[in-house]
Structure 1
């Protein structure tokens, strides 16, 4: 090749390199996301309640109004920051949160404002509460207070009741209950075995909801004095006959003939928080209708039973109602007694859920208790089924069964169990 040919090739190569470098430099633009906004096609009104963003799955983020792409961005960002959001400040940096969306959700996010606050005592108020379940229950009958007692926050409890109302006044099935936004997977797994609901949603549930709302719309409220309302009057306001009877019995027996204020009426367990709010504007108390207990006897059925002769370990559901307890309290006492195999002392009755402790205090001070028929065993001889079913022993049953194989001595088993003194004391009530 000639020398001038090499020179031309070298010149052309240099020219191409300069051209590419110039093009790359002039076409480079800075990334600017300031104008990027995330929107959802369908704007929906959200029933917001407190939530822990680290616990939410894809569907729960979707219920908060985020699109699938936004949810993928949030979950990827969560992995990038170490698998857990530690503060609102950190969460706000995620591109999926527009300024408007973050402002909308900020007050409901259960995280500290900054990472510095995470170690402060202030953050303790955001710690997750564990829920406690006393036994099987129908969530349709639970009010806001009942959910709060279980361990949910006030806002969460209100959201659950609102969701029930949205479904038409009933959760319908376990499937529908699971769809409630604030019931996360962990809590649902705890609640599911205790729910008195069908597993599957019936095909005609939409018609049920429609009929419920039609019946609800037929109710015509008017001003009334709850102390003058009969069973038929309560039924006209949408209560069942059983509920109406309970309200009247609660008024006449527990309150000695009259509701004195709104708080008295609100405490009646068959009146849900939602129903109470519907009735509240129409309630008018007339003091002249208050039952006069001084100098006059209230006209209610007198107790025909001599409760000083009835054993607390054999008292029936009907007798408890006759004494003045409502159905929920009476059922709780009978159910707890059945699980224990019988009460060993009167204080156990006061630890029962859903009771009026003042009224039950009068009951246990009146009735005697006979413990001779209550089953009692040693740790070595106790049947496995009894250990696993008994409320006081079931959490230690497997350990007891394991230890007594090689150490058939109660004293040694107690040493191996290493229980708190209060747990050991109540277990020993049922041991020989």
Structure 2
């Protein structure tokens, strides 16, 4: 036992060192305890809270470049529950009743019936409060509080009326594309129109209008408006903007190809057939005789059903009355 105790004997220098270390440990413990009790003074914690508040404020702002408008600017009447949803959140469980509506000055109750939360409605009302107007469906899609899924559900029911010019206001000459937005009776036939008519549509400029007409000539004419998506530069967004204002009514003007007379080189220039496909079609005709109908193309074996369906409206066969 005495031998064990010898290990715990310290000289004067070792005792002083031990005392200093003990004091340092106690001081660090006290400082840590004080800091942990009041984390508001901790710069890291404070910065984290400032970032979190900034993020929440930005989520409540209208989707404007300057982000000045806050949801808090609008006081919604008849609130039945606290706002606890993020703007744009999916809300499949909320009861909705879809109906045709004009989003301009639509009442708060009507927005609620369409399935929007109070927070989403507040953003729209702030937009209107600052002078915002919905001139077309695309303006509704641009709202920060309306996500893509919600817009897809509402889009078929949006009916925006032509704005009435107020008393004393100066009437402005309507832009050419406004005519097609507000009057669906006047549709543009893409088989007979010119570049001027195409440029009256939103999203169509000089270059794109020329591309559309050039592609029409190469095809031999459009037989479905969806074919516009094949034109380079016509994005899905552009197509969505113009699809309600165009039509294909003049199918008689589509140029037909006599499949039993054309050569492989000429046939291969059509956008729906590659030079290889054209050569196979002509070779099969030379070996087995003239084609009688479009079903004969399935006997070639190398053409897909999609390719056959796309080229079919442009073909004519002997003794075919088309």
TM-score tier after normalising by the smaller chain length: 0.3 to 0.5
TM value normalised by structure 2? 0.38
The answer to which structure, 1 or 2, has the higher relative contact order (CA under 8 A, 6+ apart) is 2
TM-score, length basis structure 1: 0.29
Larger radius of gyration: 2
